[in-house]
Amino acid sequence: MTAILHTGDPERGVLWQGVFAEQMPEVQFLCSPDAGALQDVRYLIAWTLDAGLIARLPNLEVLFSIGAGVDQLDLSLVPPHVRVVRMIESGITTTMVEYVAMAALMLHRDIPFYLSEQREGRWSHADVLLCSERTVGVMGLGELGKASLQRLREQDFRTLGWSRSGAEIEGTRCYSGDEQLGAFLGQCDILVCLLPLTDETRGILSRELFTRLPRGASLINVARGGHLVEPDLLEALDSGQLRYAMLDVADPEPLPAGHPFYGHPAIMLTPHIAGVTRKDTAVHSLIANVRRALAGEPFEGEVDRQRGY
Ligand code: NAP
Ligand code: GLV
């Protein structure tokens, strides 16, 4: 019998096992490696990988990521013929869109400033602009970047986008590649990073990039901690080149106690909760992709292992 092995959150495993039993009884759902014959496992669904486990799955064909990103999976452990598929599901998209809209509004309305004024017992004002007077630029125009831009446009922000190959998005001017990065950055009052973490994008949020933003711009990083060069961010905030940063991701996670980001008045931190894989919705995306695997059809969200996303 064909089996799928789930690793990680046991509660999620049990829930998904029940949904598979109802909707896809032809595939055995294993909640742990000890729950069945590992030679039957053709599909693995995981957030991170255990090297020992991969070696015990001789018939593995597809690795499904619990998340939208795949950088947390050490693909060097996975034989090259195994296909890798990231998670595309409405729960991640909806929560990410909410977060980006909230973060953009908080920075737009100077909330970090007011929080620190409150802590200091002060009652002072910053200038109030309209969303239509503020440009938000999104780096990464995939599933999450495009959905976030739509909400930002509805919020009345001026919007720009940037990606590797470019995109056509009604109401958002889009830029592509290294040659157009400067033109894009030069207009962004708020920059949102929604890139995958790859060899090309690691450390992209650096001093060099910050100096290409308008003075006083703000940063929202909802992608991965590895995109950000931390000392460069501190320097840019302290010099006034950047005004605020809202960071949902860090490297490592959790950030160690005493890290300077925790107490920085211009930084707002959240613990990697921007876009959340929802147990109730993601299982249906997984089942749809397992059906595609069984039918030999293209997956939704297959990763190009060479490109890294
Ligand atoms: P996606 O659909 O794969 O889109 C990736 C986008 O990034 C594409 O537009 C791609 O350009 C662009 N890109 C990749 N490499 C690039 C480069 N070197 N230069 C310029 N653009 C580049 O990814 P997604 O589903 O939107 O997710 C994006 C990332 O969000 C994930 O990889 C993950 O790290 C992060 N994430 C974070 C959370 C959280 O809770 N904080 C939750 C979910 C996801 P092309 O269109 O030209 O290919
Ligand atoms: C979360 O970070 C994800 O990649 O889905």
Amino acid identity at 87:
M
Ligand 2 pocket, residue 197 CB under 6 Å: no
Q: Contact 172/282 with Cβ under 8 angstroms?
A: no
Q: Which helix (H) or strand (E) holds 91?
A: helix 90-108
Query: Tokens 């060099």 sit at which residue?
Result: 208
Ligand 2 center from residue 297 Cα (angstroms): 25
DSSP 228: B
**Residue 51, pLDDT score:** 86
Sheet holding 41-46, edge to edge: 28-30, 3-6, 41-46, 62-65, 83-85
What is the predicted pLDDT for the residue at 168?
97
**Burial class, 173, CB count within 10 angstroms (exposed 0-12 / middle 13-18 / buried 19+):** middle
Decide whether any atom of ligand 2 lies within 6 Å of the 68 Cβ: yes
Distance 253 CA to ligand 2 centre (A): 13
Return the CATH superfamily for domain 3-89+277-295: NAD(P)-binding Rossmann-like Domain (3.40.50.720)
| Contacts by residues 252-257 (CB-CB < 8 Å, ≥ 24 positions apart) | 252/225, 253/225
- pLDDT tens for the chain, 309 residues: list them: 999 999 999 999 999 999 999 999 999 999 999 998 999 999 999 999 998 999 999 999 999 999 999 999 999 999 999 999 999 999 999 999 999 999 999 999 999 999 999 999 999 999 999 999 999 999 999 999 999 999 999 999 999 999 999 999 999 999 999 999 999 999 999 999 999 999 999 999 999 999 999 999 999 999 999 999 999 999 999 999 999 999 999 999 999 999 999 999 999 999 999 999 999 999 999 999 999 999 999 999 999 999 999
Q: Which ligand is nearest to the CA of 303?
A: 1
Ligand index nearest the alpha carbon of residue 73: 2
- Ligand 1 centroid to Cα of residue 267, in Å, is 23
List residues with catalytic annotation. 224, 272
Taking the centre of ligand 1 as the mean of its atom positions, its distance from the CA of residue 8, in whole angstroms, is 23
In this structure, which ligand is nearest to the CA of 88? 1
Tell whether ligand 2 has an atom less than 6 A from the beta carbon of residue 277: yes
User: Which one is the CATH code of 90-269: 3.40.190.10, 1.10.3720.10, 3.40.50.300, 3.40.50.720?
Assistant: 3.40.50.720
Residues in CB range of 262: below 8 A, 6 or more apart: 255, 269
Find the farthest-apart pair of alpha carbons in the chain and give their distance in angstroms, rounded.
68
Ligand 1 pocket residue status of 96, Cβ below 6 Å: yes
**CATH 3.40.50.720 domain extents, the chain:** 3-89+277-295, 90-269
**Ligand 1 contact, 290 CB (< 6 A):** no
